[in-house]
Every structure is written in C-alpha cells, then in structure tokens.
Amino acid sequence: MKEQDILENERQKEYIEKACRLTSEFAGKLGRIPTACVVTFGCQMNARDSEKLSGVLRYAGFELTEDEDCDLLIYNTCTVRDNADNRLLGRLGSAGAIKKKKPGMKIALCGCMMQQTGIPGKIKETYPFVDLIFGTHNIFRFPEYLCGILEDTKICEIWEKTDTIAEDLPSERKYPFKSGVNIMYGCNNFCTYCIVPYVRGRERSRNSEDIIGEIKGLADDGVIEVMLLGQNVNSYGKGLDEETDFADLLKRVEEIEGIKRIRFMTSHPKDLSDKLIGVMKDSDKICRHLHLPLQSGSDRVLKRMNRVYDRSKYIDLALRIREEIPDIAITTDIMLGFPGETESDTDDTIDVIKKVGFDNAFTFIYSKRTGTPAADMPDQVSEEWVKHEFDRVLEAVKISAQERAALLKGKVMDALVEDVYTQRPGMVSGRLSNNMIVHFDGRPSDYGRIVPISLDECKGFYYIGSRK
Ligand code: 5AD
Ligand code: SF4
C-alpha cells in the first residue's frame, strides 16, 4: 500500500474504535443492541462494498439484520439503468415512513447513484430525513461518517475522484467459504451507453502484493473460493509500478494454499489475451466459466457503442476459447434498443448467439443515461419496438442455454454447496465450476464443501443431481 493509503487506514481504524464507543452509548439509550441493515442494489462490486460496510458495523457493535425496520439503514445504490434509480427512490419513500415512527433511526445512501451530478442535492431536498450521503470514491471513510451520524450530524460528502485505495478495514462476508476481492476500480473504456466510468472513475489497479496478502488472509479464515472483481479485469496491472498483468496475477493466486476455486468478473473481449487463455487452460483452480459481454452482434452498433471489437473478432475469440478449453461455459451481456438499432441488427445479434452457443446471457433493454454520449444520439428507439426484439433475443438465448446445459447430462462434476434449496425440503444448492447450479439431497453441514455430484435431470438452466 502507498504511504498515504496506510495513513488513511490508520485514521479510519481510530474512527472504528470511536464508533464502538458511540454505538455502545446508542445501545444504552435504546436499552438494546442497535440493528443495522445494508441493502445492496446492482453488481458484484456493490455487493463487495456492502460486505465492507457490514464489517465495520458489526465491529462497531451493531447487530446486522435484513429487516429495513432497523436503527441504521444503508442503501448501497446502483445507477447503471434508470429502473435501478426508480426502485431506490420507491424504497427510500418507505424508509422515510419507518423513520417517522422511529425518530432515533439513521438512514444512509451510498454507491454509484450518489456520484451522479445533481442526485445528492435532489435527495437532500426531497428526502430531508436522510442522515448520510457518500459516494464510491470515499467509501473507505465510512467509519468516520458513521461516527458523525452517531453524534447526530448530517453528512453529505461526494468526491469527484480519488487516488486512495484503503482496503484494510474489517469486512463481513455473506458466505464464510467464498469472497469477492477487488483487484481494480473504475473503468477507462467509455462505452457510449455506460455511466460507470463517470460514477466509478478512472481505472486503478491494486498492487499485486496487497491482493495476494488479502487472499492469503481469506484462505486462513476458511475461504476456498475467490471472485476477483473489476470492471475490466483483463487490463489489470496497467499504470502500476510493477510489471504485471491479469494472467500473472491469476498464476500467483493459484499458488495460495487453501484456495480451491478462482473466478473473475468482468472480461472485456478487446483485452482478453492468449496468455490468459493459456493460464486458464493449465489451471485446476480457475473455474470453467468466462463472462464475456457481447452487448451487440452488429458491427454498426458495436462501433457506435465504442466497444472496439467487431462481430467476427468476438466470434473468433469465443470459439478459440472453446477449442482450447472445451468444458468452459461462456456467458454474456446483451443490450437491446441502443439508438439507431434496427431489426437487421437484432438478426446479427441472434446470429452471434447461435454461432457462439452461449451457456447463458443477461439481456438488458438500453436505458438512456444522462451525460453519456449515447444519450445525445438523435435516433433513440421506441420502447414497444424494443420489447418485440427483446423477446426474439430471449428465445435465442433460451435455446442456446438449454442446448449447452443438456450436454452435461449424466456427467459427474464437483459442486460447491452454497445454500439450502428452498423449493424442496432436504435439498441443497451447489455451484459447478462452470457456474451451473445443481440441487441435490444434503444438509446444512455440507455448506462450503465441494462434493462430486451426478447430473441426473436437466431442468433447462439448472440440474437435479445426486451424490456420487
Ligand atoms: N442500459 C442498459 N444496460 C446497460 N448496461 C450498461 N449500461 C447500460 C445502459 N445504459 C449493461 C451492459 C453491461 C451490464 C453490466 O449492464 O450490458 O455489460
Ligand atoms: Fe461500462 Fe464498457 Fe466500462 Fe463495462 S467496459 S463498465 S460497459 S464502460
């Protein structure tokens, strides 16, 4: 860590100690342990940020709950599409009603939506009951802000950018046996539809030593699976003093004793190297899953999106990966309704779905984000038209996913037991290396264990299996 980051960490650790005292006074006033609820919207990055917020709260003396009727409620927001913004505002209204009946309650907002120009001001005006607003760049200052609101100060602090990567705070993992690990922050790609580079800032990689140190600590603490997180993990290492890249980092993570599975997210097709394919192929620990966002299969649209690859490059890359690593699952993100799109563009996208044979895909309807270049494109398309095209793409994805899933029937594969299967008593849910879910008879004592499972019955997107 840089000198300035170490100092900032120390400063925040002092605030955590202070927060412990203030939380205990708060508990005294309430006559019970105060409860805190962290609600996460959006992606894996936000989920990991929420684990850090929860870690600080637990350490300070809060009891964590999923009930929004609590003493400290935090919404960790997303803003990638406008429905995320709308959902948040709806929830915030309900939270205000809870607070009315509970005057000591604190409400905080953080995450990507808070980084949008004008949003914090609008929230302060419309929802004056909010106690704390902070953004993505200053999340490591949460202990300090927590002390502020426990002393009844209202705080709104948003930074335009930061060079600080202060990571050494407690975190509370949702699963004891797996964890996300940030390897980089921000994005430099400026896809024309995307708000992320504006709200998460420029790309910054963490030092490899810090990442490896964090993962060793997690392994000592019982973690067997890590998910390396970044908006564009394939450009990891750019701008660091050390000479390294993502493939090198993966090799080092592989050597860590106790780590049995390694995942990563997200890969930009333009930066995926042959070296990385080689490292994945030779690895026993790197999972057989690659999430490789396509967005569109039309060259004209890809160009307007500033994706920097064309359809043939994408298809070549995906098929090359399949050839090298035959058991890999390739999943993707597809967006429909980008300005100027026509039926023939959708045909091109469906054609790529068929040629690559995706194992699954997240499909999104384009959402206009103020401040992005695409928002100013004149030829925005109608919602009705998009819905029709969306159905066509969904159907193609469904067929492709089912065909791919069916290929696994009868195989025996290792599953990491993650949860109970709530639909059927006595069953648990496991995840295969290729990210497919399989349900089978099991007990809570199986959580966190990797067990061989026979894939008996294909249910389209998941399997019903039995122990081998
Ligand atoms: N509208 C719709 N979907 C979007 N995504 C990013 N920005 C937008 C937007 N403005 C999708 C992309 C990306 C995924 C995380 O979210 O498909 O890969
Ligand atoms: Fe957004 Fe493109 Fe960066 Fe992904 S790569 S976060 S879609 S700008």
Query: Minimal CA–CA distance to 379: which of 304, 302, 293?
Result: 304
CA atoms of 39 and 414, how far apart (whole Å): 32
Ligand closest in space to the Cα of 190: 2
- Tell whether ligand 2 has an atom less than 6 A from the beta carbon of residue 268: yes
Ligand 1 pocket test, pick from 112, 335, 369 with the greatest ligand atom count within 8 Å of Cβ, gives 335
Atom number in ligand 2 closest to CA 188: 3
**Fold adopted by 3-157:** Rossmann fold (3.40.50)
Atom number in ligand 2 closest to CA 295: 7
Residue 1 CB contacts under 8 Å (≥ 6 apart), including other chains? 9, 165, 166, 167, 168, 207, 210
Residue type, 166: A
DSSP assignment, residue 382?
P
**Fold adopted by 288-407:** Transcription Regulator spoIIAA (3.30.750)
Atom number in ligand 2 closest to CA 333: 7
Residue type, 159: W
Atom number in ligand 2 closest to CA 268: 5
3-state secondary structure 334-373: EEECCCCCCHHHHHHHHHHHHHHCCCEEEEEECCCCCCCH
Query: Minimal CA–CA distance to 183: which of 232, 125, 228?
Result: 228
CA atoms of 410 and 407, how far apart (whole Å): 9
Distance in Å, CA 189 to ligand 2 centroid: 6
- Tell whether ligand 2 has an atom less than 6 A from the beta carbon of residue 325: no
92 CB neighbour count, 10 Å cutoff:
19
Query: Minimal CA–CA distance to 321: which of 285, 364, 361, 286?
Result: 286
Residue 220: is it exposed, middle or buried by C-beta count within 10 angstroms (0-12/13-18/19+)?
exposed
Ligand closest in space to the Cα of 233: 2
Ligand closest in space to the Cα of 291: 1
Instruction: Supply the pTM of this predicted model.
Output: 0.93
Query: What would the two tokens of residue 407 be?
Result: 């290929």
Residue located via tokens 């984000």: 369
Atom number in ligand 1 closest to CA 362: 17
- Tell whether ligand 1 has an atom less than 6 A from the beta carbon of residue 335: yes
Distance in Å, CA 251 to ligand 1 centroid: 30
Atom number in ligand 1 closest to CA 368: 10
Task: Tell whether domain 412-467 is in CATH 2.40.50.
Answer: yes
DSSP assignment, residue 75?
E
User: How many DSSP H helices and E strands does the chain contain?
Assistant: 13, 19
Backbone φ, ψ for residue 448 (5° rounding): 80, 5
> Is residue 200 a contact partner of residue 185, using CB atoms and an 8 Å limit?
yes
Fold: same for 178-286 and 288-407: yes
3-state secondary structure of 422: coil
Distance in Å, CA 187 to ligand 1 centroid: 13
Backbone φ, ψ for residue 308 (5° rounding): 70, 0
**Fold adopted by 178-286:** Transcription Regulator spoIIAA (3.30.750)
Q: Whose CA is nearest to atom 4 of ligand 2?
A: 231
Phi-psi region of 258 (alpha: psi -120 to 50; beta: other; left: phi over 0): left
In degrees, to the nearest 5, what angle opens at C-alpha 272 toward C-alphas 437 and 362? 40
Domain map (residue ranges) of the chain: 3-157, 178-286, 288-407, 412-467
- Tell whether ligand 1 has an atom less than 6 A from the beta carbon of residue 366: yes
User: What is the residue-level pLDDT of the chain in tens, covering all 468 positions?
Assistant: 778 888 888 899 999 999 999 999 999 999 999 999 999 999 999 999 999 999 999 999 999 999 999 999 999 999 999 888 888 999 999 999 999 999 899 999 999 999 999 999 999 999 999 999 999 999 999 999 999 999 999 999 999 887 777 677 788 888 999 999 999 999 999 999 999 999 999 999 999 999 999 999 999 999 999 999 999 999 999 999 999 999 999 999 999 999 999 999 999 999 899 999 999 999 999 999 999 999 999 999 999 999 999 999 999 999 999 999 999 999 999 999 999 999 999 999 999 999 999 999 999 999 999 999 999 999 999 989 999 999 999 999 999 999 999 999 999 999 999 999 988 889 999 999 999 999 999 988 899 999 999 999 999 989 999 998
Ligand 2 pocket test, pick from 136, 192, 195, 232 with the greatest ligand atom count within 8 Å of Cβ, gives 232
- Tell whether ligand 1 has an atom less than 6 A from the beta carbon of residue 123: no
- Tell whether ligand 2 has an atom less than 6 A from the beta carbon of residue 231: yes
> Is residue 64 a contact partner of residue 36, using CB atoms and an 8 Å limit?
yes
